[in-house]
Structure 1
Amino acid sequence: MGTLKKPGHIAIYLHCLFNGGIERVILNLTRNFVARGVKVDLVINFPGNLFLWDFPPSVRIINLEAEKILTRVPKLVRYLRQEQPTALMSANHFANEVALLSKHFAGLPTRVVVSEHTHLSQEVGNSSPLTFKHWSPLTARLFYPWADGIVAVSQGVGEDVAAITGLAAERIQVINNPIEIDEIIHKGKEPLDHPWFNSPELPVILGVGRLEKQKNFPNLINAFAKVRQVRSARLMILGEGSERERLEYLIRELGLENDVAMPGFVRNPFAYMARSTVFVLSSSWEGRPVVLGEAMALGTPIVSTNCKSGPYELLDGGKYGELVPVGDTEALAQGILKVLSGQTKPADPAWLAQFNLEGTAQKYLDILGLTECGFRSAVPVK
């Protein structure tokens, strides 16, 4: 691994820390940056679930104490003026807009790179007009042109950002979410104390993600009910979120209490993935779901909705997993049954190699204006 001849200072700005894929991407990138000799500040409005994530000890956690929306820009401006990082990277709404506004008011040459991790048009289409999220295309159109760099985590997300903002496609760089394959495989081998994985005659179907509307876990639970009509199996969903009560009610309504488990967020989901018979992504929309790459790395067979926009790209059009229509419970159940019958599509190691952390981290350092030879000139993307 190369090291920077001139140490850089990167600030990574997030709304807060949840229990999702963005956090895992940021964690992996941060570890790589630190290993290269880069100084990293993790700047957050408030901690959220900070205790769930093991960032390197050298990473400074800057809590802006900015739970109120109107306090975020002035507090981030104050941080930028005091610390003057070489570059600031933000992720998703409305952290991206706050980062761009803060650079504007700070009056500093700090290079600001915004990263889009979701298919914004789909997210807005599924949100209420009464929420801030519904207005994110307008704010993106207004503020993204100010960015020194724009990252999209999939080709589909990049095309969506270009369509929403009116920016040329060349302004948007697609950088895959990294897959730390060696670490994933190592953690997949760690002991797992759960009785369901001691009964190989009963296959375990696994879903992982925040318990939110986007992930459409009701579709997975309903599909599992159809699977149960054909053969015995169990379903486990890892994650936490606002939909828990609704999902628990649906499980009781379908009489599946003994065969569906939702243990919440776990520190090592890879031990569960590695021992599951099939991994299912039931989302209504995604950017580039990290969990699909992790399941591929572990060799766990995959069934995924063909939602916009990441699964099709990650699974190479269905070559490395079953793709089914969004919201089609019957198709999802049939896809699961197909895998349970032994019809699997393992990923080619050469395909996985393109998602390696080292290469991904270097692309981020390049767009942030840092290279192994020192700083790159902070020239805005044309």
Structure 2
Amino acid sequence: MMKKLMLIVPSLVKGGVERVVSNLSKGLSNYYQVYVIIYHQPIEYDIEGELINLETPTGSYYKKIINTFYRIIRLKRLIKKISPDFIVSFMGNLQPILTLAPIIVSVRNNPDFFTWQEKLFLITIYKLPNVKKIITCSIGIERKLSNHYHLQNVKNIYNPINFKLIGDKLLSQKPLKFEYILAAGRLHRQKGFDILINSFARSSFKNLIKLVILGEGEERKNLEELILKLDLKNQVLLLGAVDNPFIYMKHAKFFIFSSRYEGFGNILLEVLACETPVVATDCETGTSEIIEDRKNGLLVPPKDENALQSVMEELFYDQKLYERLKANTRKSVEKYRMENIMQDWISLFKEVYHS
């Protein structure tokens, strides 16, 4: 009889963590009976297994406090009913931990950029005895949690690439009729799209190619105003969320990852799997674990508009550099295949089960 695995994530909105949960549900369903628990809508990724919505949406500060208790109560009832062998929480970790059930939690971003409340949780709640393991998605985060926050039970497991899914998506038609460079992600200050737009505005190639940005978020209005201010309305396009970002990745001349900080940079794996060269900010955690400078991409310091402009121009004009990077893209991320990462999770569950 299959052991039961419960994966908890706030929602299945289009995002990096949510895509990881979707991939894990598919990869691990061959070995476990999978339950995916979400707190609220939307549901924009499909999963394998049983999906359960606790229907406790976010809202006002008061509602968030009330929902904390609702979620704990409903999770406790659900855990009692399903009796899972393993529980893994991705984001929104407070409530699953406070059920006091044995749990594995995942930290997905650089903790130095957490709010003071989140940092407080790290040095208190995350040290409760029911937290059996803390999983990171980059070695940089693992080291920070161990060395700076004195957490002992930390282990890194990289995010998987679903090569089959990407391969199927790349059968679609070319999405745009013009040449473009690409960026994608939540329209959030963390992602540095304002830095990218300013760098693009100063580049010598801004009238030779368009900049396309995929994704939605609270920074849309600010970015639209910046685009108008820089007179780039026809050259910088905010296309919003799309169903198939991979086909945009495949046909982009190159991809720009402009984050101010990042946990891992899952999108870099997907872009490289689509055989597209990358310019990426060398964030304190994550990026340099994926990008080897001048082998499968180019690294620049975060928040440096001049450096980003210079490196984009170099990649745009230097055809030999471009071809060399492109030739190394896909093979540099083969180790992140689903089957490899699933074995890392299976080994983790065996370790926890026997501890």
TM over 0.5: yes
- C-alpha change, 1:299 and 1:244, in structure 2 (3 Å) is same
- Structure-2 separation of matches of 1:148 and 1:230: 51
Q: Is the 8 A contact 2:275 2:330 kept in 1?
A: no
**Does the Cα contact within 8 Å between 1:113 and 1:367 map onto a contact in 2?**
no
Tell me, yes or no, if the aligned pair for 1:188 and 1:273 is still in contact at 8 Å.
no
- The reply to whether residue 7 of structure 1 matches residue 30 of structure 2 is no
Contact 2:277 2:329 in 1 (8 A): no
Mapping of residues 106-185 of structure 1, within 5 Å: 111-121=102-112, 123-124=113-114, 133-145=115-127, 146=129, 147-168=131-152, 171-185=153-167
Q: In the TM superposition, what whole-angstrom CA distance separates every residue of 1:174-199 from its partner, at most 9, and x where no partner exists?
A: 11111122322331231144xxx323
Could you say which residue in structure 1 is the equivalent of 2:353? 378
Deviation of the 1:379 alpha carbon: 4.2
Paired residues for 1:30-109 under 5 Å? 30-34=25-29, 36-47=30-41, 49-50=42-43, 52-56=44-48, 58-65=49-56, 67=58, 68-92=67-91, 95-102=92-99, 104=100
Q: CA RMSD in A?
A: 1.9
The unaligned stretches of length 5 or more in structure 2 are: 59-66
Task: Give distance in 2, aligned partners of 1:134 and 1:229.
Answer: 42
- Higher mean displacement: 311-320 or 216-225: 311-320
Paired residue for 2:338? Answer: 357
Letter in 1 for 2:24: L
Q: How many residues in Structure 1 have an aligned counterpart in Structure 2?
A: 340
Moved over 6 A (4+): none
**Alignment of 1:214 onto 2:190:** yes
Find the aligned partners of 2:338 and 2:205 in 1 and give their Cα distance: 42
Aligned-partner SS, 2:72: helix
State the AA in 1 paired with 2:236. Answer: V
Go from structure 1 to structure 2 and tell me whether the alpha carbon gap of 1:337 and 1:189 turns closer, same or farther (over 3 Å shift): farther
Could you tell me how far apart the structure 1 residues matched to 2:22 and 2:280 are?
Answer: 25
Deviation at 1:360, TM superposition (A): 0.6
1: CA distance between counterparts of 2:171 and 2:221?
A: 32
Q: What's the CA shift for 1:317?
A: 4.7
Structure-1 separation of matches of 2:264 and 2:294:
15
| Cα shift readout 1:52-103 (whole Å, capped 9, x = no counterpart) | 21223x43233342543332222211211122111110113xx22221111x
Q: 2:309 corresponds to which residue? A: 333
Residues 350 and 115 of structure 1, relative CA distance in 2, 3 Å threshold:
same
Give the gaps of 5 or more residues in structure 1.
1-5, 125-132, 370-375
Question: Is the 8 Å Cα contact of residues 119 and 309 (structure 1) preserved in structure 2?
Answer: yes
Deviations 1:269-301 (A, max 9, x none): 000000000100000111111110111111101
Instruction: Report the counterpart of residue 64 of structure 2 in structure 1.
Output: none
* Bigger mean CA deviation after superposition, 226-235 or 319-328: 226-235
Which amino acid counterpart does residue 9 of structure 2 have in structure 1? L
Of 16, 20, 27, 1:25 maps to 20
SS of residue in 2 equivalent to 1:157: helix
Q: CA deviation at 1:377?
A: 6.3
Asked if the contact 1:46–1:65 (Cα under 8 Å) also holds between the matched residues in 2, the reply is: yes
CA contact (8 A) 2:214 2:241 kept: yes
Contact 1:66 1:75 in 2 (8 A): no
Asked whether the equivalents of residues 188 and 272 of structure 1 are also in contact (C-alpha less than 8 Å), the reply is no
Q: Could you tell me the TM-score, scaled by structure 2's length? A: 0.90
Between the aligned partners of 2:45 and 2:14, the Cα distance in structure 1 is: 9
Task: State the 1:151 CA deviation.
Answer: 0.9
The 1-side partners of 2:299 and 2:352 are apart by: 43
Name the residue aligned to 1:303: 279
Q: 1:288 aligns with which of 255, 261, 264?
A: 264
TM-score, normalised on structure 1? 0.84
Closer/same/farther in 2, CA of residues 163 and 98 from structure 1, 3 Å limit: farther
Superposed CA deviations along residues 140-182 of structure 1, whole A, max 9, x for unmatched, are: 11122331122111110101111343123xx211111111223
Query: How far apart, CA to CA, are the structure 2 residues paired with 1:242 and 1:98?
Result: 26
CA distance in structure 1 between the aligned counterparts of 2:283 and 2:38, rounded to whole angstroms: 30
Counterparts of residues 249-288 of structure 1 (less than 5 Å): 249-288=225-264
Q: Name the SS for the 1:190 alignment partner.
A: coil
CA–CA distance in 1 between the matches of 2:150 and 2:55? 32
Amino acid at match of 2:353: A
Distance between the aligned counterparts of 1:287 and 1:305, measured in 2? Answer: 12
Residues in 2 aligned to 1:231 and 1:289: alpha-carbon distance in whole angstroms: 29
Q: Which has the higher contact order (CA 8 A, sep 6+)?
A: 1
